[in-house]
Structure 1
Amino acid sequence: MAPHTTAPPRHTTAPTPSPDRRRAWLITALIVTFMVINFADKSVLGLAAVPIMDELNLSNSTYGLISSSFYFLFSLSGLLVGFLSTRLSSRVLLFAMTLLWAVAQLPVLAVASVPTLLAGRILLGAAEGPAASMSMHALYKWFPPERRALPSALQIGGAALGTLIAAPLVTWLIEAYGWRSAYAVLAAVSAIWALVWWRTGHDGPYDHARAGAGAVGGTGPRLPYRRLLSTGTILGSIASAFGAAWALSLSHAWLPAYLSTELDMSAGSAATTISIISGYGLVLLLTVSPAVDALKARGVSSRWSSGAAQSIAVCVAGCAMAAFPFVESTAPRLLLIGLAFGTIAIAIPLHYMTAAEVVPTSQRGAVFGIVAGLGTLPGLVAPSLTGHLIDAADSPADGYTTAFLTAAAVMLIAGVLALTTIRPERDAGRLGLDHQPMDEAR
């Protein structure tokens, strides 16, 4: 009698969970609100820059240091919380983060000084470092891979919406009740959201969808992080995020002051301009991300649909950044400023999408944290460097020009690197992962 043998286990695909569409879109709405608050918190210092600098008699270099302090722990906390996400639920993580946002606004309400501004911004940065990546991770738990582009766009759209809403509202609070009132209101709003999320936010059914061993999005064998992080797709996604983050950090820290001091705009006009730029970014997000889904449904590779889209967006923004300081006419200059600071919105959700396609679900939160942590490093450098350049130049205008040209160079290099390295299908194959075209996944 032949000896009994056991066939090697076959990789099977787990049944697709039944989606709760109503709950999925409720979670989406909460996460969009989360991002609105997140970016309102980020923007408040820049919107209040002129009155704070006047009241505390701050130099450009000192203000730049305070602005950069937001990023002292930003990337590190993004990395650490990314790894914690493999053990803690998104409900707990987002709740704790938002409570810390509220606490971070309080020191400057007690004593307005450089140390309290620094302390508040450092704590806020540590609490917001994981915000975008972890909220995206939480959102992905409620949608299958082929349905993530629109929710992703809405999540990042919350960032644009946050700036769009915050610019006029925070400016009005500052002008009507003083800049401290904006900090107090944002602390209260953050605390309220945390309580609502604790009651409503739960992890979704797609946390372990497609659980076949080795499948992208599955819970099969974990891959060494060295292998994951050395793929062109992950490196290109980091490059895309890096270029976008350089412009984004300048937008938060220096764009309001630049519009007010160099273009002679009133606080209200500067706030309106920033809102229009954010609105442009939001329109791009809501237009491009569904188009990416449609392209994938027609069989277009992720390299050319989501990879090329984010790379080209960073390059276009970099070209506009290099051009607008040399344009004298007001309308063309404002148009180029809008392109420089608004077009980068496309890169933010798409670099998460491309990274997710070459990472198992069990490691996605950690890799998102790494991508976000490395991709947002410009925030540690760009605001402070800009302050030094302005103080060292013959005139503030010359300093701003040098700062914007530096940003343009970084963005163009990052965009080209992303364009040449992001290839999710190739990298998934090399890692032995089951990369399914989106039309087959339906």
Structure 2
Amino acid sequence: MAEPSSSAPPLDVAGGVRGVGGKGSPARPAFDRRHAWLIAGMIVAFMLINYADKSVLGLAAVPIMDELGISNSTYGMISSSFALLFSLSGLLVGFASARISSRVLLFTMAVLWAVAQVPVLVVASVPALVAGRVLLGAAEGPAASMSMHALYKWFPADRRGLPSALQISGAALGMLVAAPLVTWLITGFGWRSAFVVLAVTSAVWSLIWWWVGRDGPYGGEAEGGEGAHRAGSETAGASCASAPPARLPYRSLLLNGTVLGSIVAAFGASWALALSHAWLPAYLRTELGMAPGGAATVISAVSAFSLVLLLSVPVLVDTLRRRGRSARWSTGVPQGVAVGVAALAMASLPFVDGRGAHLVLLAVAFGGHAIVFPLHYMTASAVVPPLRRGAVFGVVAAAGTLPGLVSPYLTGHLLDFAGTRSDGYAQAFLLSAAVMLVCAVVALVTIRPERDARRLGVG
């Protein structure tokens, strides 16, 4: 696409129009700091509940398996069923986000999270567990991408590092808070009590969000669809009408190296995350001989390590970007490095005997990849216009989270068919490390936001 003429308003890296202060030019929306951070706080709570819902099955794995008499493979199948509709729903809702407000989308998701906890409370059985996990996965599939999309509507491009980190930190906070709390509920009141508490929490959040949530001014279309943007574009000047960035075909947006590299980085990180949610609590109890409270403490420590990374690295990224460092080196390379380092720690787990060294490696393997999740949204948004952002985020999230469909079941299968349980975990860790290393290399090579933004005409 040709460079904009001097008469056209300049475009920011995400394809939005920057106010130039001239007569007739659209001014950049004012930054409403108070409401923006209120929305950020609600979204952090949203993500905290999201990850508590995801982790409850893993935290209750041992008592559920004992009570229902299910095998490792069956438990792995139940855990993987969460991902059956996860990616598909993320994809579909991503495309719908251009026409449905973030307020409605997030409210609907939270209500469904509450409903998804009900089947196993009515009948404690494998089919009920599967039904609840499938519904929960369908309702949580769009959660990360759509909450990030909602957040981006309230923050301009040069202020998104910290809020993005806080959004993703909801995951670490979810484990940091949920692991001891849910474990306390399970040991003190039975595993069903955790499902009840999470259902009530989701319902309460949805009511508060319906009251305070609304779309912000940085979505390109605010609450409307493309029609509103086209009307605004006509008043902004005919020079953008020939090939407005917001009208770029999805094929061009999805098949450039930066978006593909972001997906692959998320795939590698999600492989470790899915393994952690499904099997880390059981591994700590059965292989390391920890009591429920000790296992919860280790999981909280891993989450705390993730939280430190999430709150420090993206803020550093914003600083580097404001000082003129390229997006490739400030947001792209760290993704590949994080997944690669986590993979090396994962590969080392079967060969380390000392308890202290083992726990350090667990923290790096299952927590060191955390920074990928805010950064992969930032790199993708750098080459995607705002009106296409929700849909592209949905595709990125859908493809990047596919490991949830494979990793838990495959691990359960390895555990059942290996010579010993320890051999099964060793095989699972080595396979995970291999997948993650490939993803790390691909991300390092392909993520180049400035180059791809120029090629697409949005830079």
Q: Report TM bin, short chain.
A: over 0.9
Say how many residue pairs are matched: 425
Q: In structure 2, how many angstroms separate the alpha carbons of the residues matched to 1:191 and 1:219? A: 41
How many angstroms does 1:298 deviate by?
1.2
Q: In structure 1, how many angstroms separate the alpha carbons of the residues matched to 2:37 and 2:457? A: 33
Spell out, residue by residue over 1:289-315, the C-alpha distance to the aligned partner (whole angstroms, 9 max, x if none): 110011111111000000011110000
Spell out, residue by residue over 1:242-300, the C-alpha distance to the aligned partner (whole angstroms, 9 max, x if none): 00000000000000000000000000000000000000000001110110011111111
Contact 2:173 2:303 (C-alpha < 8 Å) held by counterparts: yes
Structure 2 counterpart of 1:85:
97
2:113 is aligned with 1:116:
no
TM-score, normalization by structure 1: 0.94
Q: In structure 1, how many angstroms separate the alpha carbons of the residues matched to 2:32 and 2:257? A: 35
Structure 1 counterpart of 2:220:
208
Structure 2 counterpart of 1:291:
316
2:21 is aligned with 1:11:
no
Q: In structure 2, how many angstroms separate the alpha carbons of the residues matched to 1:128 and 1:111? A: 23
Structure 2 counterpart of 1:55:
67
How many angstroms does 1:326 deviate by?
1.0
Contact 2:349 2:426 (C-alpha < 8 Å) held by counterparts: no
2:382 is aligned with 1:357:
yes
Structure 2 counterpart of 1:316:
341
Check 1:225–1:172 CA distance in 2 against 1; reply closer, same or farther (3 A cut): same
**Correspondence for 2:84 among 69, 72, 80:** 72
How many angstroms does 1:10 deviate by?
4.2
Structure 1 counterpart of 2:363:
338
Contact 2:274 2:404 (C-alpha < 8 Å) held by counterparts: yes
Structure 2 counterpart of 1:5:
none
Structure 1 counterpart of 2:22:
none
Structure 2 counterpart of 1:431:
456
How many angstroms does 1:208 deviate by?
1.6
Contact 1:73 1:122 (C-alpha < 8 Å) held by counterparts: yes
Q: In structure 2, how many angstroms separate the alpha carbons of the residues matched to 1:415 and 1:149? A: 22
Q: In structure 2, how many angstroms separate the alpha carbons of the residues matched to 1:50 and 1:223? A: 50
How many angstroms does 1:11 deviate by?
2.5
Q: Structure 1 stretch 10-19 or stretch 264-273: which is displaced more? A: 10-19
Structure 2 counterpart of 1:273:
298
Q: In structure 2, how many angstroms separate the alpha carbons of the residues matched to 1:329 and 1:319? A: 17
Contact 2:246 2:387 (C-alpha < 8 Å) held by counterparts: no
Q: In structure 2, how many angstroms separate the alpha carbons of the residues matched to 1:220 and 1:392? A: 52
2:48 is aligned with 1:23:
no
Q: In structure 1, how many angstroms separate the alpha carbons of the residues matched to 2:344 and 2:182? A: 30
2:98 is aligned with 1:101:
no
Q: In structure 1, how many angstroms separate the alpha carbons of the residues matched to 2:127 and 2:6? A: 60
Contact 2:302 2:363 (C-alpha < 8 Å) held by counterparts: yes
Q: In structure 1, how many angstroms separate the alpha carbons of the residues matched to 2:188 and 2:143? A: 30
2:268 is aligned with 1:243:
yes
Amino acid in structure 2 at the alignment position of 1:91:
R
Q: In structure 2, how many angstroms separate the alpha carbons of the residues matched to 1:329 and 1:96? A: 47
Identity %: 66
2:190 is aligned with 1:175:
no
How many angstroms does 1:220 deviate by?
4.6
Q: In structure 1, how many angstroms separate the alpha carbons of the residues matched to 2:346 and 2:246? A: 44
Spell out, residue by residue over 1:2-49, the C-alpha distance to the aligned partner (whole angstroms, 9 max, x if none): xxxxxx994324311111100000000000000000000000000000
- In structure 2, list runs of 5 or more residues that go unmatched: 10-16, 18-25, 222-228
Amino acid in structure 1 at the alignment position of 2:74:
T
**Correspondence for 2:424 among 399, 404, 407:** 399
Structure 2 counterpart of 1:378:
403
Q: In structure 1, how many angstroms separate the alpha carbons of the residues matched to 2:379 and 2:356? A: 36
Structure 2 counterpart of 1:132:
144
Contact 2:40 2:151 (C-alpha < 8 Å) held by counterparts: yes
Spell out, residue by residue over 1:151-198, the C-alpha distance to the aligned partner (whole angstroms, 9 max, x if none): 000000011000110000000000000000000000000000000000
Spell out, residue by residue over 1:213-268, the C-alpha distance to the aligned partner (whole angstroms, 9 max, x if none): 999xx975411111111100000000000000000000000000000000000000
Amino acid in structure 1 at the alignment position of 2:457:
G
Contact 1:324 1:337 (C-alpha < 8 Å) held by counterparts: yes
How many angstroms does 1:391 deviate by?
0.3
How many angstroms does 1:70 deviate by?
0.2
Contact 2:245 2:457 (C-alpha < 8 Å) held by counterparts: no
